[in-house]
């Protein structure tokens, strides 16, 4: 199908810019509003968000690239307190209708360097800026096509959506458990784990812990209580386990965050 972004490189008619941005937790852009005026690549730096389009529902997490198609209607629901990303707007100009997609990529650090370099070039006032921007963007575009592996399957995403939605609303509850989540989706625990990992590239437990840890870090940075109280309020029932997974996730202990 020629409407897939990864089939082959198409000429870019217009490059509209690159910027680094962030969104706090919440819902953005009504599905009934005007469609996108341009296509764009969104490289997720931190956090996660749920995207709904007429053709696909998918979750974007740090290290992924989204393709949002020109003319597409969509909504975003940010699932964390700090959703950061690079956004590059452009137009193909060939009149082909494309579908928005979540692209699973390799070599995340190299993409971060490329998007950062593009944003620096775009902010430069030199006369050669437009040419240099387009050259760097084609480098990113070609790399995405070369590295592309897969995108979330719509039907499989829908099957586990009840569990996913429940996790987002109740991830701080210490009563959250895999058997209940599997029952919500009408499947076995093994099947839920398999589909969840296939769609979101992580296990349900790792996803829950990631949400809890991000919330805990935000609370620690704001000094919204002691370390132990914050751990318990974010859904952890064991302080030693919380400290261990926190340090593994962020590279430093929770006490160090609280003291900053």
- CATH of residue 222: 1.10.10.60
Q: Does 5 map to a domain?
A: no
Q: What is the number of structural domains in the chain?
A: 2
238 and 130 belong to one structural domain: no
Q: What is the CATH number of the domain that holds 39?
A: 2.60.120.280
Among residues 100, 122, 147, which one ends one of the domains? 147
pLDDT, tens only, 188-219: 999 999 989 887 778 999 999 989 998 898 88
Q: Does 2 map to a domain?
A: no
Q: What pLDDT is attached to residue 2?
A: 44
pLDDT, tens only, 232-249: 999 999 999 999 999 988
Among residues 147, 175, 197, which one ends one of the domains? 147
112 and 193 belong to one structural domain: no
88 and 195 belong to one structural domain: no
How far is residue 162's CA from residue 184's CA, in Å, rounded to a whole number?
A: 6
pLDDT, tens only, 101-115: 888 777 788 999 999
pLDDT, tens only, 51-101: 877 767 777 888 889 888 888 888 888 878 889 999 999 998 777 888 788
Length of the chain: 260
Q: E strands within the chain? A: 14-23, 26-28, 39-46, 48-52, 57-61, 65-68, 75-78, 83-91, 101-103
73 and 136 belong to one structural domain: yes
135 and 173 belong to one structural domain: no
Among residues 147, 162, 195, which one ends one of the domains? 147
In this prediction the pTM is: 0.57
Range of the domain at 134: 14-147
110 and 60 belong to one structural domain: yes
72 and 124 belong to one structural domain: yes
Question: In 3-state terms, what secondary structure has residue 24?
Answer: coil
Q: Does 221 map to a domain?
A: yes
Q: Name 130's Cβ contacts closer than 8 Å, sequence gap at least 6.
A: 15
186 and 227 belong to one structural domain: yes
Q: Does 25 map to a domain?
A: yes
Q: Does 8 map to a domain?
A: no
């Amino acid at each position: 199908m020629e409407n897939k972004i990864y089939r082959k490189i198409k000429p870019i008619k217009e490059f509209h810019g690159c910027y680094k941005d962030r969104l706090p937790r919440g819902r953005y852009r009504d599905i009934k509003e005007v469609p996108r005026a341009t296509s764009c690549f969104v490289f997720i730096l931190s956090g996660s968000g749920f995207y709904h389009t007429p053709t696909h529902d998918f979750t974007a997490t740090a290290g992924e690239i989204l393709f949002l198609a020109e003319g597409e209607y969509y909504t975003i629901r940010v699932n964390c307190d700090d959703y950061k990303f690079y956004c590059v707007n452009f137009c193909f100009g060939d009149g082909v209708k494309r579908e928005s997609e979540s692209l699973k990529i390799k070599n995340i650090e190299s993409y971060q360097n490329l998007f950062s370099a593009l944003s620096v070039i775009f902010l430069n006032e030199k006369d050669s800026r437009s040419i240099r921007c387009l050259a760097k963007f084609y480098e990113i575009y070609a790399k995405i096509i070369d590295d592309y592996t897969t995108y979330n399957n719509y039907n499989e995403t829908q099957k586990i959506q009840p569990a996913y939605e429940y996790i987002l609303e109740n991830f701080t509850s210490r009563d959250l458990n895999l058997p209940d989540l599997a029952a919500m989706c009408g499947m076995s625990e093994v099947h839920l784990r398999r589909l969840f990992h296939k769609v979101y590239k992580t296990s349900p437990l790792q996803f829950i812990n990631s949400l809890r840890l991000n919330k805990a870090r935000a609370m620690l940075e704001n000094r919204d209580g002691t370390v132990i109280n914050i751990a318990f309020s974010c859904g952890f029932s064991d302080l030693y386990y919380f400290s261990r997974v926190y340090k593994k996730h962020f590279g430093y202990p929770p006490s160090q965050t609280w003291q900053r």
